[in-house]
Every structure is written in C-alpha cells, then in structure tokens.
Structure 1
Amino acid sequence: MGDSVESKGLIKVSVAKLGVGMFVESIDNTKGQVSIANAGQIRSKEAIAKLLRSGITHVWVNAERSSADCGLNKPNLKPTPVVKRVSTDRVNTQKKAKELMVEAKDLIQKVLSETFEGKAVEVEPFEALADNMIESVLLDADALKCVSALRSKDAYLLEHSINVAFLLVTFGRYLKFDTDMLRKLAVGGILHDIGKIKVDSAILNKPGKLTAEEFEHVKLHQTFAIEIMSNTAGLSQVSKDISLMHHEKLDGNGYPRGLKGDEIPIHGRMSCIVDIFDALTATRCYKEAMSPAAAFKILLSLTPFHLDQALVYDFIRCVGVYPVGSLVELSDGRVGIVWEAKNRDALHPKVKCFYSNRHKLYTEVTMVDLLKSELNIEKGISPSSLEIDPTPFY
C-alpha cells in the first residue's frame, strides 16, 4: 500500500486510504502519535468521513487486529530479533548450542532408524555428544537453555530425548556429580525413550486420549528398551537405569519392573522427575505446552508416593522459578523470554521483551535487567496463551 509507514508493529496510513475493517490504534498529528479512547475497527465509510471532517489526515493502524479482507497489505510484523548490547561471547555460545542441538537431533534420528532396522546401538558417538553437552552447560548453560526451549510438536521424540539429557546434566551438576557421572546421565537421557521406535506411531501420536489397550501398547516401549539395552555393548549401568526406570514409582506402581523405594537409585529417581517435567512443558499433538510453574505444581502433587520429594525440591531450585527460555509477563504488560539467570536471585533475571500482552502488538526488542528495573515478573506464561508465535525471538 502506498503512503504508509511501519513503526513498532503499527502502520501509518492516510485517512483517505482507510478501509472498512482496519483497526485504528491512534491518530497522528503535529504532536506525533496520539492515543484515542475509541480505538477499534472501522465499521463504515461514514466513520472514515467523520475522521476527514475532523481534520485528521493520518492514523496508525494495527495490522494484526485488522480484518483479513480490509485491503491492507499486511507487513511481516515479526521484527528481526536484534538485541543491543548482547556480548559476543553470548552470541558465540548460543551459536554453538544451536549447532549442538542439530548434531544431537541428527545422531538420534540416525540411531532410531538403525534401531528400527534391528541394528545394535553404538555408545561411542553418544558419549562424544554427551561430552559436548557437558562442555556447553559448563560454558554457558543459559545459552543452551534458550535453544532447548524451542519446541516442535512434530519432532517431539528427538527434542524430548535431548532435553531430558540436558536437564539431567544440569540437575547432576547442581547435585555436584563428577564429570564421568554427568556423561552417563547424558547418554541415558539421550537413549531413555529409544524403545518408542518400535511402538505403533499412530498410537504414539494419537491426538486424543488413549484407550486402556492403547496405553498398554505404549508401555511396551520399556519392554523393547530392555531388549535394546541388553544388546548395547559398553553402555554403563547408570545409563541403562535412566532408560529403564523413568516410569518407575516409589510406591511400586510404576513399570516395567514395579520397583519400589530404595530399589530406585538417585539417578533413576532423577530421570522420573526430568521426564515428567519436560513432557509437561512441551507442545504435543494432543496438548499445549504447560508453563514451568504449572509443571512444578504437578511434580509436587506426585510426591511422596510417585516421586522423591526432596529431589523434586532440589530440581525446582536447580531449574529456577522462572527457567531460562521460559516466557514471562512483566508488570507493564510486556512479554519476554527469560534470557539470563546466572548469578542472580530467582525473581530478577534478565528478560528479552518483544510483545505487549496489554496492547496486543509487537514492541521494540529490549533486554530488561530486573535487578536494575522497577518492573517485576507478574507471572509465568505458556506459549499457548499468546496470540503470536514467540519462536523468532529465541
């Protein structure tokens, strides 16, 4: 459209070129952009004529809230997430984290395909991947957390495996495990759902609730895992335990072996917690992602009969009330990604803001340091509660 200018998610439009269905957010005059009380969609040509009679020549239109058939050539309102003052180190570590995630997905996809064909799993490539993951966590855990927060319901099995491994390494580091143990945790996490490759994909990806018979079929992934683990040379017992214990429960009502209490070692108990948390905070074909805060409540509700209560509290302290990569709404209505939490108290991370929930429009991408700001976090939110896709801002 001619005679229009874009600014902060709004388009400056000549009143003469307004169309019915366009959403007028504010007017433009010599004082600049001026808010109006009766902001809203243009309902008739008379409303346009009224604006002209009032001497108004230009208005600011919200393209996102305008009707699809209003004649407005909508721009791409997802601005390139360029953030000022991001250190070169952080850019580099995030780039490495993205490369690591791609490498991990490719390796897991390859091994899943080979496992489906009946080939034995080779441990060495996973140990090398685990070492890279540990190095990334030690170098800049926040960078990897932001990258791992990017989820796709179409690649759940791959991403869930990577995230469980990453969370186990982060949790293990918090509990002061040595590097060898962290490596075993990572390998176990990567392989923990490998048995699902032999489960009927139609049932595994069913959008509705599973029948009792279908649920029993899904549970078979642990039976398949026992066979795969037994044929995997060089796999540590810790890694095997993580794969074979993440559905066990302290009261003995889990599967595949119905282990009870002390029969489940600490790393097995950790895998139960991490597996549930990551599944709850992921978008699936049958559910939306849950906010970390809501997932924590569910984890706590499963103690002490299913999950180890002390470990759940340790996990919450490890991940943080507002984990890096999660979405939050600030007290001024802006939405952002928790970007940095290292060496900070839990309630005052750095937040990368990009959208206003209050005004339903994109804002300038800004890094807000809550240690130096009067703003505070109003609440954690789930991606599904937003009307826009936050993915480009990670």
Structure 2
Amino acid sequence: MSSVEESKDVIRIPVSRLGLGMFVVAIDRKESKVAISNAGQIKHKDSIAKLEKAGIKSVWVDVERSSDSCGLKKKAAPLKARKPVITRATKQAQAKNILTEAKTLVRKVLSETYEGKAVEVAPFEDIADNMIESVMDDADALKCVSALRTKDAYLLEHSVNVAFLLVTFGKHLNLDKSLLKEMAIGGILHDIGKIQVDNKILHKPGKLTEAEFEEIKKHQTYAIDIMNETVGLSQVSKDVCLMHHEKLDGKGYPKGLKGDEIPQHGRMSCIVDIFDALTATRCYKEAMSPAAAFKILMSLTPFHLDQTLVYEFIRCVGIYPVGSLVQLSDERVGIVWESKGRDALNPVVKCFYSLKHRRYTEVTFVDLKKSDLHIERGISPRSLDVDPSPFY
C-alpha cells in the first residue's frame, strides 16, 4: 500500500509525514476511517506527538482546507473564461451600426408610406430590441454617436434620436423593457405623417406663415390614418406617435387632449421631441446647447409639459450630456466623454481644440473631478467654425 491514498480532496497521510498547517478531518483506527470532533489545522508539533502516542498510524487530511505552506499540492482552480474587454470605441461602432440601420429602415418606410404601402412592424421591433440592448450596456456610447447629425438628414435622425432618448429616459424611470420597446417603435415612427407634407414647407428656411404652420400640423392627422392601417402596432406605440404635440392645458394637437388624457409615455414623447428638435441643426437655425434647451423645457411647465417629468429628464440626460460640446475655463473645447456615476458638473472631457489659440490641440482627456478646471459653458458645433466629428 502506498503511503498516500487520494479520495477526492481528502487524502490519507501517515502521521510520521504530518506537517504544520495540514487540516486533519479523520483518523485511521483499525483500518477504518473515523471522523473526529476536533477537526482542524495542525498548528503545533505537540498535536502530532499526541497522535503518535495514541498509536494512530495515519490520518485523513483535507488538502483544500490545508494552508498553502504545508507542502500539499492543491488542485488548480478551473480557469474562468475571460470576458472579452469591449472598448468604448467598439461600443460606439456597434451603436453607430444600430443608428445607421434604424435610419435606413426609416428611409425605406417613409418611401413606402409615400407610395401608399402599409407599415410592417416586425423590422422596427428588431431595431428597438437592439437599441434597448445598447442603452442597457452603455448609453454613453449611443449618445456620442447620436450627437453626430446633419441638417440634411434631420427627419431620419430626429426619428431615431427620439426613440433612443425615450429608451434612455424610460430606463432612468425603471420602466419595463416591454414598455421601452413599444415606446422605441413609437419614437421611430412618430413623424411618419410628415411624408405627406409639402417638402417646400417642411424644409422652408424662413419663418412659416400661419397657413404653412397649419399645413405642418396636418402631419399628425396623416399619422392617424397611417397608424390605423398598421397591423400589430401597440397602443403605446400609437400614443407616442400621436401625442408628441399634445399639451397638458389642452392646446396641443391633433386631438387637444388635456391633463390625465395624456398618459406618462405620451407626456415623455412631448418632452423628448422638443428637446431633440431644439438641439438639432436645421436649415433655418443653429443647434442649441442642451443647457439652453433645458431652460426652454422648464419654461413650458406646468401648462404644456409635465414638470416632474421634465425635472427627471434633465436628471437623466445631465446638464452636460455625453456627446455634447463644452468650453473649459482654460478656453479649450472638448466633448463630454464620460459622466456615469459622477456629479453633473464634473464629467470627463475629451479636449481637442483651443479657442484661445484658434487651433487644434493634442487630444487629452480631462477628469474635472481631479482638475482645477471647470466647464465654462456648453457650445454648439456651429459656433466653433471647426468640425468636431473626427473626435467622436
């Protein structure tokens, strides 16, 4: 018989080979294994001497519970599969693909709707699922990508951004995923009625006449017809689409709904639609900074917009949202890069330009929590006279 016999993690060892730190769980008595009440590590040589004096020839030792220094070889712990490290750049690339796919789908549906074809809901469900997954994983990556927008693609980008903002806002309010999905679909489709509006009015660079504004408002009437013909669209999705111009005081359109007639998701769509429109560059206006847009949202409470939800939306997006441009106190300009888990005034800023010297600078990340610098103001891309898009 060999001097050491294995049984899983417990092995039999002759008392003569016992060492300090070994964890004894049982003794051999007349060739039978007998558990002992005082199981534990051998801490003194006296304990070994007592076993020898009692005539014990061998004992059972738990290898895993013995100390690392006792000389016994423990089993190697199974290697855990390493989770691949996904960088912010990778997440942004994934987010960009989602937004591109969404805009392509919106373009296709607008074209088909113009031709009188019915909207198919299934493709929007897939986009909504991907959007929710991306927001749950890292909303900041999607925010940075959605900050890149062009005035020529406004209708496409606005529709997708409204959907994304609704998902982000809904996540902030701890809404159920199934509800987020329905809201996202409604957000993507919320301006679908505009396909029936005259392009000259829709893209007019100057102020609209009263008659032209009435024509613009008809996009919601057109949307009612489109929604009614769309099979499989939930009531929540329809509400988001048809309520984003309603007002709490009943002075909105298309139905002049008032107060409790507008459910929470309908009220959210009003806030998100206005915010995204204000922060977008159009052929007739510059983009507002988020801070300036927040002031306008607040001015519309409590008569037009739900005040509690506006406050929550500002908390959700942040005073300086990820992806927005800011000027630091040393006159450097940068992109708000990271704000998760931070107070609103101290994000990480990716600096790339100096207003003071009117030139690009070496790209540096400034953690305002650890810096003497602070954000002086939010700025719009147009006011820079340089293109920030390569730095996203």
Normalising by structure 1, report the TM-score.
0.77
CA distance in 2 between partners of 1:383 and 1:292 (Å)? 12
Residue 80 of structure 2 corresponds to which residue in structure 1?
none
| Alpha-carbon offset, residue 157 of structure 1 | 0.2
1:183 and 2:181 correspond: yes
CA distance in 2 between partners of 1:92 and 1:325 (Å)? 16
CA distance in 2 between partners of 1:326 and 1:348 (Å)? 14
The superposition leaves residues 35-60 of structure 1 with CA deviations (integer Å, 9 ceiling, x where unpaired) of: xxxxxxxxxxxxxxxxxxxxxxxxxx
Greater C-alpha Rg: 2
Amino acid at match of 1:329: Q
1:68-107 equivalence runs, <5 A: 88-107=86-105
CA distance in 1 between partners of 2:327 and 2:311 (Å)? 24
CA distance in 1 between partners of 2:315 and 2:371 (Å)? 24
Residue 220 of structure 1 corresponds to which residue in structure 2?
218
RMSD: 0.9
CA distance in 2 between partners of 1:142 and 1:251 (Å)? 34
In structure 2, the residue corresponding to 1:389 is in which secondary structure?
coil
| Alpha-carbon offset, residue 88 of structure 1 | 4.8
Aligned mate of 1:197, from 189, 195, 198: 195
1:300-379 equivalence runs, <5 A: 300-379=298-377
The superposition leaves residues 8-34 of structure 1 with CA deviations (integer Å, 9 ceiling, x where unpaired) of: xxxxxxxxxxxxxxxxxxxxxxxxxxx
Amino acid at match of 1:223: T
The superposition leaves residues 137-190 of structure 1 with CA deviations (integer Å, 9 ceiling, x where unpaired) of: 011110000000001000000000000000000000000001000001100100
Residue 27 of structure 2 corresponds to which residue in structure 1?
none
CA distance in 1 between partners of 2:88 and 2:358 (Å)? 30
Normalising by structure 2, report the TM-score.
0.78
1:100-119 equivalence runs, <5 A: 100-119=98-117
Segments of 5+ residues of structure 1 without an aligned counterpart are 1-86
1:12-161 equivalence runs, <5 A: 88-161=86-159
CA distance in 2 between partners of 1:165 and 1:110 (Å)? 17
| Alpha-carbon offset, residue 384 of structure 1 | 2.1
CA distance in 1 between partners of 2:388 and 2:156 (Å)? 21
1:237 and 2:235 correspond: yes
In structure 1, the residue corresponding to 2:133 is in which secondary structure?
helix
| Alpha-carbon offset, residue 344 of structure 1 | 1.2
Q: Which has the higher contact order (CA 8 A, sep 6+)?
A: 1
CA distance in 1 between partners of 2:348 and 2:125 (Å)? 33
CA distance in 1 between partners of 2:315 and 2:121 (Å)? 32
Residue 386 of structure 1 corresponds to which residue in structure 2?
384
In structure 1, the residue corresponding to 2:336 is in which secondary structure?
strand
CA distance in 1 between partners of 2:226 and 2:319 (Å)? 37
Residue 256 of structure 1 corresponds to which residue in structure 2?
254
Segments of 5+ residues of structure 2 without an aligned counterpart are 1-84
CA distance in 2 between partners of 1:326 and 1:89 (Å)? 20
In structure 1, the residue corresponding to 2:87 is in which secondary structure?
helix
| Alpha-carbon offset, residue 233 of structure 1 | 0.6
Amino acid at match of 1:190: I
The superposition leaves residues 325-375 of structure 1 with CA deviations (integer Å, 9 ceiling, x where unpaired) of: 100011111000001111111111111100011111110111111122221
Amino acid at match of 2:216: V
Amino acid at match of 1:95: A
% identical aligned pairs:
75
| Alpha-carbon offset, residue 229 of structure 1 | 0.2
CA distance in 1 between partners of 2:96 and 2:260 (Å)? 38
In structure 1, the residue corresponding to 2:387 is in which secondary structure?
coil
Residue 281 of structure 1 corresponds to which residue in structure 2?
279
Amino acid at match of 1:153: K
CA distance in 2 between partners of 1:389 and 1:92 (Å)? 22
CA distance in 2 between partners of 1:160 and 1:188 (Å)? 13
The superposition leaves residues 232-282 of structure 1 with CA deviations (integer Å, 9 ceiling, x where unpaired) of: 011010000010000000000000000001100000000000000000000
| Alpha-carbon offset, residue 387 of structure 1 | 2.0
In structure 2, the residue corresponding to 1:371 is in which secondary structure?
coil
CA distance in 1 between partners of 2:122 and 2:263 (Å)? 25
